[in-house]
Amino acid sequence: MRYLTIALGKGRLAEQTMQLFEQIGITCEEMKDKSSRKLIFVNEELKLRFFLAKGPDVPTYVEYGAADIGIVGKDTILEENRKLYEVLDLGYGACKMCVCGPESARQYLNHNQLIRVATKYPNIAKDYFYNKKHQTVEIIKLNGSIELAPIVGLSEVIVDIVETGSTLRENGLQVLEEVCPLSARMVVNQISMKMENQRISSLIHQLKMALPKA
Ligand code: PRP
């Protein structure tokens, strides 16, 4: 039997995912050592291999088949737009993609004005403004602390993830529009889904049974 390879987005997502896998009897002791810099972990009995990658790289590994399965946020799936199957909503990591800004910026969203939109997610922002709202905007790509942009005058609004809303509140910003709900998802390589259908389907089924009922 060959190894099934599972790519996990580094950080909290990976930790929650390993907890879920433990619930269905899949453990990977070496992965719990927080001081370790190791990136790849093997469960010999089950012929499973886990590796940790940067979130946005997970869909890339899965599309090319370097990983059969990936666990990654819906934000990353939408932004990266890779060829893969999204097979399961894991529920955790729930948050929303939103258009945010100061209350005074709300008017710009209703009058089809040419505004600047700062975001870590240019593809999601483009899709929302161009295809859903039919509003022409200038997208400015940033890499983090997006909330700064409207405060210092780089943009009128931002497209960003809102979880508790405290980053917005503490910076005098608000949700102006909701783009879409987000959470962790399981994705599968299109060829693996056919070649390893039995193992992958059984894994999906077991995970589904272990998830808290919605
Ligand atoms: C994310 C997001 C918001 C914040 C939202 O940033 O970009 O800034 O979390 O969470 P909240 O609604 O609970 O305050 P992250 O911490 O991932 O870092 P970043 O600013 O580098 O993107």
Read off the pTM: 0.95
On average, the pLDDT of the chain sits at 95
Alpha-carbon Rg for the chain, nearest whole angstrom, is: 19
User: Best substitution site from 163, 168, 170 to test ligand 1's pocket, by max atoms within 8 Å of Cβ?
Assistant: 163
Average pLDDT over residues 28-38: 79
Q: In this predicted structure, what is the pLDDT of residue 213?
A: 80
**Per-residue burial over 173-200, b = 16 or more CB atoms within 10 Å of its CB, e = otherwise:** bbebbebeebebbbbbbeebbeebeebb
pLDDT value of position 33: 78
Question: 164 CA distance to ligand 1 centroid (A)?
Answer: 9
Q: pLDDT of 44-83, one tens digit each?
A: 999 999 999 999 999 999 999 999 999 999 999 999 999 9
Q: Across residues 121-136, what is the average pLDDT?
A: 97
Q: How far apart are CA 2 and CA 148, in angstroms?
A: 48
The one-character DSSP state at 32 is: G
Give the pLDDT of residue 113.
87
The three-state secondary structure class of 177 is strand
Residues whose beta carbon lies within 6 Å of some atom of ligand 1: 120, 144-147, 160-167
Higher-pLDDT residue of 33 and 156 is 156
Express each pLDDT in 106-116 by its tens digit. Answer: 999 987 889 99
pLDDT of residue 28: 79
* pLDDT the model gives residue 163: 97
- Per-residue confidence (pLDDT) for residue 32, from 0 to 100: 77
What does the pLDDT average to over 79-89? 98
* Helix 12-23 × helix 197-210 angle, to 10°: 90
